[in-house]
């Protein structure tokens, strides 16, 4: 019951996880009256820089965070899948060969992953799954990719299927695009599958080449959740994708990755603004990697503020709540940079903060935000963790 291509560990090693393993095992036993054999965990992510570039074949720089979706699993009876969601206290049951849409979120993500694995030619088997997560949903921290990758790890593991993490990420992206119907890029799934502890993950979304970029010890990554929730499927996310595709078509290139800033002047609005964001953001990601590697945190911070301004004014995906959080961060001592992270339209900001300035950050950003707006924003100090982890419980 070991996945050759995926890191399989004994419980108790590797990253500390936030989901209580023992309580998930117990939940599994209560739900199915048997013991789980495998535990599959995948992290959420925060994107340091490189927003709305992945589906334009550009560069991104996400970090897998210590918020996780965990799936306890064991081979099931015959071809039946039984799934229990701890967070929704809800069950689902279906035949592994015929996953159909239910229109109900967590169920469809689980079914989507099975559908995409079958579609890729893998032979799955019946399985029992207990699922729990602490990635806040609808906040731009990729709870859905974490769910997909964790479920994929569990389904493959119980069926003795060995899949490289990169391939698993592509299969899960297809699940989200074609079964769930959100045209997401590949960043979130790759971050959930392929990240390394202590590092950001530079991804070239054209070639899928990846590189780990070490995070300096003197900084902490703080996520502030504006608590303005959004479901990607209900935002203009797909519309932005279409605008970028239209801009590329007008320019006669296969994707905006191939466009230079000088090329876009002749485009009509809003395509020009959208394209300007994407082209300049790609450049910022590469500069950000140089800045991280040379420990030029001031420059990295500037690039983050520029990214936010470009997402707000050019790409049109910020909100007043996110703008205020970034503005407060920019006026707080010990903060190098801040920007909205993820798709936008609500969700979180990512902040690069000096390790000993955390208390000042909370006072200057979170508390001030609460005083000014009554907002329920919360902050989370993130640790950079490994991608998908599979543990054999036997
Ligand atoms: C969402 C999508 C990603 C990416 C970001 C924006 O998180 O799932 O693929 O496009 O938005 O950068």
Q: What distance in Å separates the CA atoms of residue 301 and residue 330, rounded to the nearest whole number?
A: 9
| Co-location of 139 and 83 in the same domain | yes
Q: Which of 212, 236, 256 is the last residue of a domain?
A: 212
**Minimum-distance ligand 1 atom for the alpha carbon of 343:** 11
- Give the range of the structural domain holding residue 95, as residue numbers without chain letter: 6-212
The mean per-residue pLDDT over the stretch 18-39 comes to 90
Please identify every residue annotated as catalytic: 188
**Minimum-distance ligand 1 atom for the alpha carbon of 144:** 8
Which of 53, 183, 187, 201 for mutating ligand 1's site (highest number of atoms within 8 Å of CB)? 187
| Co-location of 112 and 202 in the same domain | yes
Residue 1 located in a structural domain: no
| Mean residue pLDDT across the chain | 93
**Minimum-distance ligand 1 atom for the alpha carbon of 176:** 8
Q: Whose CA is nearest to atom 8 of ligand 1?
A: 184
Residue 390 located in a structural domain: no
**pLDDT value at 331 more than 90:** yes
Residue 13 or 382, more confident: 382
Check residue 138 and give its pLDDT. Answer: 83
Q: Is 342 in the pocket of ligand 1 (CB under 6 A)?
A: yes
Give the CATH number for residue 81. 3.30.230.10
User: In the Cβ-directed half-sphere of 367, how many Cα atoms lie within 13 Å?
Assistant: 8
User: Left (φ > 0), alpha (ψ -120 to 50) or beta: where does 227 sit?
Assistant: left
> What is the separation of C-alpha 303 from the centre of its chain, rounded to a whole number of angstroms?
21
What's the number of domains the chain is made of? 2
Q: Which of 212, 247, 268 is the last residue of a domain?
A: 212
| Co-location of 102 and 71 in the same domain | yes
**Minimum-distance ligand 1 atom for the alpha carbon of 55:** 10
| Co-location of 140 and 246 in the same domain | no
Rg of the chain in Å (alpha carbons): 21
Q: Is 51 in the pocket of ligand 1 (CB under 6 A)?
A: yes
Residues 6+ apart with CB under 8 A from 295: 216
**pLDDT value at 15 more than 80:** no
| Co-location of 190 and 265 in the same domain | no
Residue 389 located in a structural domain: no
| Co-location of 221 and 178 in the same domain | no
| Co-location of 277 and 128 in the same domain | no
Residue 393 located in a structural domain: no
Instruction: Report whether 201 contacts 65 (CB < 8 A).
Output: no
| Co-location of 238 and 141 in the same domain | no
Q: Is 49 in the pocket of ligand 1 (CB under 6 A)?
A: no
Q: What is the pLDDT of residues 155-204, one digit of tens each?
A: 999 999 999 999 999 999 999 999 998 889 999 999 999 999 999 999 99
| Co-location of 265 and 204 in the same domain | no
Q: Is 52 in the pocket of ligand 1 (CB under 6 A)?
A: yes
Residue 394 located in a structural domain: no
Residue 50 located in a structural domain: yes
Give the CATH number for residue 286. 3.30.70.890
Residue 119 located in a structural domain: yes
Q: What is the pLDDT of residues 106-144, one digit of tens each?
A: 999 999 999 999 999 999 999 999 999 999 988 899 999
Distance in Å, CA 53 to ligand 1 centroid = 8
Residue 392 located in a structural domain: no
Q: What is the pLDDT of residues 70-98, one digit of tens each?
A: 999 999 989 999 999 999 999 999 999 99
Nearest alpha carbon to residue 236 among 346, 137, 325: 346
Q: Is 54 in the pocket of ligand 1 (CB under 6 A)?
A: yes
| Co-location of 75 and 223 in the same domain | no
Confidence of residue 103 (pLDDT cuts 50, 70, 90): confident
| Co-location of 47 and 118 in the same domain | yes
| Co-location of 203 and 235 in the same domain | no
**pLDDT value at 12 more than 60:** no
In degrees and rounded to multiples of 5, residue 356 shows phi and psi of -90, 15
Q: Which of 184, 212, 240 is the last residue of a domain?
A: 212
Which of 48, 49, 52 for mutating ligand 1's site (highest number of atoms within 8 Å of CB)? 52
Distance in Å, CA 54 to ligand 1 centroid = 7
Q: Whose CA is nearest to atom 1 of ligand 1?
A: 343
**pLDDT value at 1 more than 50:** no
């Amino acid at each position: 019951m070991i996945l050759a291509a995926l890191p399989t560990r004994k419980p108790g090693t590797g990253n500390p996880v936030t989901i209580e393993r023992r309580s998930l095992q117990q939940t599994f036993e209560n739900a199915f009256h048997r013991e789980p054999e495998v535990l599959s965990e995948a992290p959420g992510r925060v994107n340091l820089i490189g927003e709305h570039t992945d589906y334009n074949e550009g560069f991104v720089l996400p970090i897998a965070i210590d918020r996780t979706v965990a799936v306890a699993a064991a081979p099931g009876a015959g071809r039946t899948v039984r799934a229990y969601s701890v967070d929704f206290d809800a069950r689902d049951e279906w035949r592994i060969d015929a996953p159909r849409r239910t229109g109900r979120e967590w169920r469809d993500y689980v079914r989507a992953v099975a559908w995409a694995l079958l579609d890729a030619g893998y032979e799955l088997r019946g399985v029992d799954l207990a699922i729990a997560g602490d990635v806040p949903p609808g906040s731009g921290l990729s709870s859905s990719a974490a769910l997909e990758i964790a479920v994929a790890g569990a389904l493959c593991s119980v069926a003795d299927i060995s899949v490289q993490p990169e391939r698993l990420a592509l299969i899960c992206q297809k699940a989200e695009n074609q079964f769930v119907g959100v045209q997401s890029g590949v960043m979130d799934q790759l971050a959930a599958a392929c990240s390394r502890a202590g590092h950001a993950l530079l991804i070239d979304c054209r070639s899928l080449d990846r590189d780990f970029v070490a995070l300096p010890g003197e900084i902490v990554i703080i996520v502030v959740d504006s608590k303005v929730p959004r479901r990607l499927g209900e935002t203009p996310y797909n519309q932005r994708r279409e605008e970028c595709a239209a801009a590329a078509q007008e320019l006669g290139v296969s994707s905006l990755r191939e466009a230079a800033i000088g090329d876009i002047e002749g485009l009509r609005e809003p395509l020009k603004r959208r394209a300007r964001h994407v082209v300049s953001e790609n450049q910022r990601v590469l500069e950000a990697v140089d800045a991280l590697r040379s420990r030029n945190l001031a420059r990295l911070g500037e690039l983050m503020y520029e990214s936010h301004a470009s997402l707000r004014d050019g790409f049109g995906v910020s909100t007043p709540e996110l703008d205020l959080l970034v503005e407060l961060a920019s006026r707080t001592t010990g903060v190098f940079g801040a920007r909205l992270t993820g798709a936008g339209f609500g969700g979180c900001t990512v902040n690069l903060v000096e390790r000993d300035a955390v208390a000042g950050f909370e006072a200057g950003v979170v508390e001030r935000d609460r005083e000014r707006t009554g907002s329920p924003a919360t902050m989370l100090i993130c640790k950079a963790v490994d991608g998908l982890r599979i543990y054999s419980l036997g």
